[in-house]
């Protein structure tokens, strides 16, 4: 696998991107590509490299925002995963986030970019609100995937943004499209696992959705309710709250 120390200093970001994906291109696997297809990940533009190996390569490459941008521009599946891992959150702009969101073409790329890069950007919360209004399936999923990732990684904000997020979730749960519905469900479950107060609010939201006459919100609500009323989760949240006092 290439490393930062082996790259020619004069190499352009485009040249470095080509070098970075040389190893995945040479070591792709049909078995991995077939597995991707089973998980509804388009495999036509993939080499077939496991996520574990992508992680390993990203660590060797290190943080490099120009490389991240060049990798994304290739349009290649593994290159776009690498772009998420080597990008520098502080250098991500709102315009970059919007452009990448518009190009999302699979849930795997959406979730990886949101989890590894976008949720640490100073523009993250503004994009949640903006993308929730998008019509495209993967663009709209990105809003709720990003919301879920912010629950996990934004330790500084209080409950207010997540309570607003629950109102967005309740509205978006009506969307019957598979990847939107699952993104909304993910965000709801994550919010309800942050603390006891948010758990209560999320359970109330899930309860209303579970009573819906429509299939999509009913599924979102019932699935989340099972997760959020788990005795082990409630015990952990209670202990977490007592420890924080």
pLDDT greater than 70 at residue 3: no
Q: Could you read off the pLDDT of 166-219 as tens digits, one per residue?
A: 999 999 999 999 999 999 999 999 999 999 999 999 999 999 999 999 999 999
Phi-psi category of residue 7: left, alpha or beta, with phi > 0 → left and psi -120 to 50 → alpha: beta
Residues with Cβ within 8 Å of 46's Cβ and at least 6 positions away in sequence, in order, are 28, 32, 33, 36, 76, 77, 78
Q: Could you read off the pLDDT of 145-161 as tens digits, one per residue?
A: 999 999 999 988 999 99
Average pLDDT of the residues of the chain: 94
pLDDT bracket for residue 244 (50, 70, 90): confident
Q: Which CATH architecture has domain 93-245?
A: Alpha Horseshoe (1.25)
Q: What is the pLDDT of residue 243?
A: 80
Q: What is the pLDDT of residue 142?
A: 98
Round to whole Å and give the CA distance between 36 and 41. 5
- Percent of the chain topping pLDDT 70: 96
pLDDT greater than 90 at residue 111: yes
- Distances in whole angstroms, Cα of residue 135 to Cα of each of 19, 56, 88, 142, 177: 36, 35, 28, 11, 11
Domain ranges of the chain: 1-87, 93-245
Q: What is the pLDDT of residue 1?
A: 56
| 3 state SS for 131-186 | HCCCCCHHHHHHHHHHHHHHHHHCCCCCCHHHHHHHHHHHHHCCCCCHHHHHHHHH
pLDDT greater than 70 at residue 10: no
Residues with Cβ within 8 Å of 78's Cβ and at least 6 positions away in sequence, in order, are 21, 24, 28, 46, 47, 49, 54
The stretch 106-127 carries a mean pLDDT of 97
Q: Could you read off the pLDDT of 76-107 as tens digits, one per residue?
A: 999 999 999 999 999 999 999 999 999 999 99
For the ranges 1-10, 15-24, 39-48, 61-70, the lowest mean pLDDT is seen at 1-10
């Amino acid at each position: 696998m290439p490393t930062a120390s082996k790259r020619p200093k004069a190499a352009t970001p485009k040249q470095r991107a080509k070098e970075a994906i040389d190893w995945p291109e040479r070591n792709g696997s049909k078995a991995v590509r077939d597995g991707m297809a089973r998980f509804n990940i388009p495999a036509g533009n993939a080499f077939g490299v496991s996520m574990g190996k992508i992680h390993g390569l990203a660590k060797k490459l290190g943080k490099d925002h120009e490389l991240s941008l060049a990798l994304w521009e290739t349009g290649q599946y593994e290159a776009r995963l690498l772009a998420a891992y080597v990008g520098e959150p502080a250098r991500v702009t709102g315009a970059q986030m919007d452009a990448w969101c518009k190009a999302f073409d699979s849930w795997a790329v959406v979730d990886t970019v949101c989890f590894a890069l976008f949720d640490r950007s100073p523009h993250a919360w503004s994009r949640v609100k903006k993308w929730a209004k998008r019509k495209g399936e993967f663009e709209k999923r990105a809003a709720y995937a990003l919301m879920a990732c912010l629950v996990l990684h934004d330790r500084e904000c209080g409950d207010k943004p997540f309570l607003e997020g629950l109102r967005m979730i309740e509205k978006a749960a009506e969307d019957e499209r598979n990847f939107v519905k699952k993104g909304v469900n993910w965000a709801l479950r994550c919010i309800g696992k942050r603390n006891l107060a948010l758990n209560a609010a999320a359970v109330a939201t899930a309860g209303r959705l579970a009573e819906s006459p429509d299939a999509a919100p009913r599924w979102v609500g019932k699935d989340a309710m099972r997760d959020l009323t788990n005795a082990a989760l409630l015990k952990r949240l209670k202990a977490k709250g007592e420890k924080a006092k």
